[in-house]
Amino acid sequence: MNTEQQTKESPLVAALYAGFYGGQFVLLGIQLPFFAGWLALKDFTTSEIGLITGAALIARLALGPFVAFWADHQHDERRSLRIMSFLFALGGIGLILAPTKVLIGAAAALIIWTFGMLVPLTDTAVLRADRNGWVKYGQVRAAGSTFFLVTTIVGGAVLGQTGVAAAAPFMAIAAIAAFIMSLLLPKGVGGRGGAKPVSWREAPRFISSPVFLGVLIAAGLTQGAHAVYYAFSFLRWEELGYSTLTIGFLWATGVVAEIILLTRARNLAYRLGPALLLILGAAGAAVRWFFVALEPPLLFLFLLQTLHALTFAATYLGTIEFLDRAAPLRLVNTGMTLMSTTGVGAVTGLATVIAGYVWQSSGAGPAYMMMAFMGAIAVICALLVARKWDGGKLFE
């Protein structure tokens, strides 16, 4: 299959990339709600779970830019996806075969880190395939959210019967499936189309822009404010007496709201613009985590979960729209990976580590209040972006 032979949208290309996203997000659908419970069964403390998750996310900061630069200079975009998918599968296999607690922790960190790298690399390939006329990015990316949604519901039901001890084998199967799908991806559809890759000499000029830094901080704080939710919500909700199935539906509620914004309200998001989307996402984080910290009744908790459309989807779309409007074309993909690794990855990693200690010493409420405070700071940063940015390219 070659873009020179076909430039119309291809359902097969969309299906293959959707399946590739599927392996990644099925694993995430098990990891986020239930993996902390599995680690607890292996005698990991809350602070140790925070260290594992945080170390993997902080590794994005150290290695992410180099991986992005290397991937962007590959003649075949599938090479980086396949290598990272192999490491992804290796981490999944390590979870079920590692004989010691230290090796289990290493496997867990590897699988979380590789997932964090795979998503922006896959996003980059799919965005390029969109620009090359093969797929619609929003629809393919929403497929990943749909896989996540189904997994949280079905996984909640299954693990409710089997117990969270089955979480790691399911994660390993999903990671292996992602690697297999990476071998089936078509050649060339996500390539650069003959354009030269970005030079390291150009990247600092873009990254040092006050507007870029403002978006980086705003998006990083808002997405990073999910740290407690991602790492520890299962443990707390289980303590409160919620069943595994109920926890799965809580997660699913947030993902449904996310999917609706990604697929049904895309034009509205475009009209709102990047700065307003970032403001809405940050404000949603401040409100959401403040009330979650108060441990509201279950019905109200379900209502708060719908704010995931703001805290995740609006922030994500705001970041994508910003890069599309503000960055030169050759810098869009590098900017996306840097946003994911140095912004979201680093902030989430640090927040997870700190929140693990806060949770263990002071409980869930103060940890969630820390997330609400991060959202409030993100609002200020997003407002500054709206004030300083004229909506155009930062440079040509």
- Predicted confidence at residue 193, as pLDDT, reads 60
Q: What is the pLDDT of residues 310-336, one digit of tens each?
A: 999 999 889 988 988 888 766 766 777
Kindly write down the DSSP assignment for every residue of 364-393, as one continuous string. HHHHHHHHHHHHHHHHHHHHHHHHH--SS-
Give the whole-number percent of the chain exceeding pLDDT 70.
Answer: 93
Candidate ranges 198-202, 268-272, 343-347, 363-367; pick with highest mean pLDDT: 363-367
Spell out the domain ranges in the chain.
11-189+202-388
CB contact at 8 A, 119 and 31: no
- Predicted confidence at residue 231, as pLDDT, reads 83
The arithmetic mean of pLDDT across residues 305-309, rounded, is: 96
CB contact at 8 A, 138 and 262: yes
Check the CA dihedral 109-111-112-116 and report its sign.
positive
Candidate ranges 181-195, 244-258, 316-330; pick with highest mean pLDDT: 244-258
CB contact at 8 A, 238 and 56: no
CB contact at 8 A, 262 and 141: yes
196: confidence class by pLDDT, cuts 50, 70, 90 = low
- Predicted confidence at residue 391, as pLDDT, reads 87
CATH 3.30.70.1560 is right for the domain spanning 11-189+202-388: no
Give the whole-number percent of the chain exceeding pLDDT 90.
Answer: 49
Q: What is the pLDDT of residues 352-383, one digit of tens each?
A: 889 988 998 999 999 999 999 999 999 999 99
In this predicted structure, the answer to whether residue 1 has a pLDDT above a threshold of 50 is: no
The arithmetic mean of pLDDT across residues 43-60, rounded, is: 83
The arithmetic mean of pLDDT across residues 23-46, rounded, is: 91
Which amino acid makes up residue 215? V
Residue 309 CA from chain centroid, whole number: 14
Place of tokens 């947030």: 254
Q: Which two tokens stand for residue 75?
A: 């003649």
Assessment of whether the complete model's pTM goes beyond 0.75: yes
- Predicted confidence at residue 6, as pLDDT, reads 45
Average pLDDT, the chain: 87
206: confidence class by pLDDT, cuts 50, 70, 90 = confident
Q: Which residues, 6 or more positions from 139, have their beta carbon under 8 angstroms from its beta carbon? A: 14, 263
Helix (H, G, I), strand (E, B), or coil: what is residue 37?
helix
- 317-332 burial code (b ≥16 CB/10 A, e <16): bbbbbbbeebbeeebb
Q: Which two tokens stand for residue 54?
A: 């945080």
115: confidence class by pLDDT, cuts 50, 70, 90 = very high
- Predicted confidence at residue 60, as pLDDT, reads 76
In this predicted structure, the answer to whether residue 171 has a pLDDT above a threshold of 60 is: yes
Residue scoring higher pLDDT (379 or 345): 379
The arithmetic mean of pLDDT across residues 266-284, rounded, is: 90
Residue scoring higher pLDDT (324 or 198): 324
